[in-house]
Each structure stands twice: as C-alpha cells, then as structure tokens.
C-alpha cells in the first residue's frame, strides 16, 4: 500500500514499461474534461441568450400595449371631433341614408 502511494506521488506509473495503458486513460479523461467544460460554457451562453430575449420580449410587449392604448384614444369620437373642428368640419345633424343599387340586367 505504502509503495503504491509513493509510486503515484513520484509519477513512476507514467514512466514504467506498461505506462502506455495509463497514458491512454489520462488522455481519455482529459478529453472528457474538455468536452464537459465546452458543454457547460455552451449551456451558460444559451441561458444568457434566453434571459436577454425574455427582457426584449417584455420591452416589445409594453411598447405594443402603449401603442394600442394611444390608438384607442385616437379612435375615440371625441378626439376625432376635436381634431376635425379645427379644419372647419362639423358633425352632421342629418343621419346618413343607405343607397341601394339595383343590378341592371
């Protein structure tokens, strides 16, 4: 047991005759570590992108609601009467009549 621990600490398992097996395992584990780090980095980037897009959606939704409320105020009859009265147009006292056109044969 004591000899095995000293061997690991001194690195003799890397330079012995059968060290090729040990190097293959070390390289494999190193490759897996690189893949894991890259995967975690990619996941973090996606989380940041999702957060940015969520904030953008909230901003666009509030701009849409604000524009819709402005449009509702502009479409009100009282607002339209105020805007056209400055041009000399007034509301008609006589209600409109329907005009029916008969098809000619």
Whether residue 101 is contained in a domain is answered as: no
Whether residue 94 is contained in a domain is answered as: no
80-98 tens-digit pLDDT: 888 888 888 888 889 889 9
Whether residue 35 is contained in a domain is answered as: yes
* Whole-number Å distance between alpha carbons of 87 and 1: 102
Phi and psi torsions of 18, nearest 5°? -100, 30
What value does the mean pLDDT take over residues 66-84? 91
Q: State the pLDDT at residue 13.
A: 67
When pLDDT is cut at 50, 70 and 90, the band that residue 39 belongs to is very high
Coil, strand, or helix at residue 96? coil
Give the range of the structural domain holding residue 23, as residue numbers without chain letter: 2-85
CA angle 55, 61, 66 (to 5 degrees): 130
Structural domains in the chain (count): 1
pTM of the model: 0.55
45-60 tens-digit pLDDT: 999 999 999 999 999 9
Whether residue 31 is contained in a domain is answered as: yes
Whether residue 7 is contained in a domain is answered as: yes
């Amino acid at each position: 047991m004591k000899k095995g621990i000293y061997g690991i600490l001194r690195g003799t398992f890397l330079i012995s005759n059968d060290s090729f097996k040990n190097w293959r395992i070390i390289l494999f584990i190193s490759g897996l570590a690189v893949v894991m780090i890259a995967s975690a980095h990619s996941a973090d980037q996606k989380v940041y992108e999702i957060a940015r897009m969520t904030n953008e959606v909230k901003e666009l939704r509030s701009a849409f609601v604000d524009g819709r409320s402005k449009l509702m105020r502009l479409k009100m009859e009282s607002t339209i009467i105020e805007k056209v009265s400055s041009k000399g147009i007034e509301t008609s006292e006589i209600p409109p009549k329907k005009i029916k056109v008969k098809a000619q044969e």
